[in-house]
Amino acid sequence: MKVLVCGGAGYIGAHMCRMLASAGHEVFVFDNLSTGHAYAVQWGPLVQGDLLRPDDLERIFAARSYDVVMHFCAKSLVGESMRDPGGYFRNNVTGTVNLLDAMVRHGTRNFIFSSSAAVYGMPHDVPLAEDHPTAPINPYGRTKLLVEQLLPAYDIQFGIRSVALRYFNAAGAALDGLIGEDHEPETHLIPNILRSVVDKHTGPLQVFGDDYDTPDGSCVRDYIHVNDIASAHMLAMDHLARGGTSQVMNLGNGAGFSVLQVVDTARRVTGKRIDYQVMPRRPGDPPVLVASATKAHTDLGWRPQFDTLESIVETAWTWHRNRAARE
Ligand code: UFG
């Protein structure tokens, strides 16, 4: 199939492109390179463009037709979204509306959307199933929910069927260390732990809060390997190709690990000492986020391959060592 990967130069998008290409699909990348990297575009041509510039979209859609659009372009930092709500709404909501409208104009009818566990807000019950109330507590989560809420209208009116995948905590890297998580600044836990080991200038890891109502007081998250996220997209694409209906699904392993458990795991994987400082809570962090991914298992036949935290951290460690060696 011909797949347009918007955001294909980014962390998850690049792993997606690699998996698509190795399964024999044709990949086309659209990315503004604001957070993605040209070096990560290796599995199909890059058109540098921005969802907020309709002419850029027109250019990529006029060039050829696509069977599926996968949409990974988003600003995705909770704290930044609180400081810059307008930027988040423009980029994540208006940008997506522009993309959907271009799909309508050019007759592309299959859409896979990167949503987020951030749509749930503060959980009432864990694990979180898709029918848990959605009440995002930050602008980032609201932008993801707004797009989810727009998708049925595009389905009814224009026949654009979609799968919105609510990622929990994406982590890990390619097994061979070729691509991985490369954000600047980095805010995510696993890369920050590993950077504190490989980069002497980073200083000790900061642990945001040890007084949550969790077994060790630090926040609990469900870490899911980036390739397992990509494999769910492959299955979502098959689902749409078979004529399947629009869906919303969680992607997680269904197992929660606290920040301090992740630090311990990284200590075992790296064999290094990992110092940390306990800091105040980070605003907007729910204490526990763990997925029920039963729907993706049942409806897509999805089975994550990286089902231990060790295996996920090992791949991230390979990437961080490679990256440090290159610099
Ligand atoms: N954390 C630290 N120190 C760090 C970085 C993170 O203690 O240096 C903690 C955070 O406070 C949080 C946990 O580690 O408790 C995980 O934090 P991440 O930043 O790695 O991930 P988040 O859970 O904040 O973010 C993820 C997705 C977001 C999504 C959010 C939903 O990456 O896109 O879940 O809450 F919005």
- Centre of ligand 1 from the C-alpha of residue 188, in Å: 5
pLDDT exceeds cutoff 80 at 293? yes
**11 is known as an active-site residue:** no
Out of 140, 154, 167, 212, pick the active-site residue.
140
Ligand 1 atom index nearest CA of 76: 33
Query: Taking a C-beta distance cutoff of 8 angstroms, is the pair 31, 13 a contact?
Result: yes
Count Cβ neighbours within 10 Å for each residue of 115-134 and write b for 16 or more, e otherwise.
bbbbbbbebeebbbebebeb
Which residues' Cβ are closer than 6 Å to ligand 1? 76, 78, 116-118, 140, 169, 187-189, 192, 205-208, 219, 221, 259, 282, 285-286, 289
Question: Greatest CA separation found in the chain?
Answer: 57
Closest CA to 296 of 242, 228, 198, 243: 228
Q: Positive or negative, the Cα torsion across 129, 135, 138, 144?
A: positive
Q: How confident is the model at residue 146 (pLDDT cuts 50, 70, 90)?
A: very high
Q: Tokens in use for 257?
A: 């690990």
| 221 C-beta neighbours (distance < 10 Å), count | 26
Model confidence over 230-248: pLDDT tens digits? 999 999 999 999 999 999 9
C-beta neighbour count of 36 within 10 angstroms: 24
**Could you please report the per-residue DSSP string of 299-326?**
II----S--SHHHHHHHHHHHHHHHHHH
Question: How does pLDDT run across 76-131, given as a tens digit for each residue?
Answer: 999 899 999 999 999 999 999 999 999 999 999 999 999 999 999 999 999 999 99
Question: What is the rounded CA–CA span in Å between residue 212 and residue 146?
Answer: 29
pLDDT tops 90 at residue 301: yes
Distance 143 CA to ligand 1 centre (A): 18
Judging by beta carbons within 10 Å of its beta carbon (0-12, 13-18, 19+), is residue 176 exposed, middle or buried?
A: exposed
304 alpha carbon – ligand 1 mean position (Å): 21
| Ligand 1: centre distance to CA 117 (Å) | 11
CA 116 to mean position of chain CA atoms = 7
299 — pLDDT class (breaks 50, 70, 90): very high
Each residue's pLDDT tens digit, 197-222: 998 788 899 999 999 999 999 999 99
pTM over 0.85: yes
The fraction of the chain above a pLDDT of 90, given in percent, is: 94
pLDDT at 95: 98
Residue nearest atom 32 in ligand 1 by C-alpha distance: 169
Task: Could you list the beta-strand ranges (E) of the chain.
Answer: 2-6, 26-31, 46-48, 68-71, 110-116, 161-167, 169-171, 205-208, 220-221, 223-225, 247-251, 257-258, 276-279, 288-289
Residue environment code for 236-275, b if the CB has 16+ CB neighbours within 10 A, otherwise e: bbebbeeeeebbbbbbbbbbbbbbbbbbebbeebbeeebe
Q: Whose CA is nearest to atom 7 of ligand 1?
A: 207
Distance (Å, whole) CA 47 – CA 130: 34
Test site for ligand 1: of 166, 199, 219, most ligand atoms within 8 A of the Cβ: 219
CA of 187 to the centre of ligand 1 (A): 7
Using alpha carbons, select from 225, 224, 221 the residue that is nearest to residue 174: 225
How many C-beta atoms surround the C-beta of residue 3 within 10 A? 25
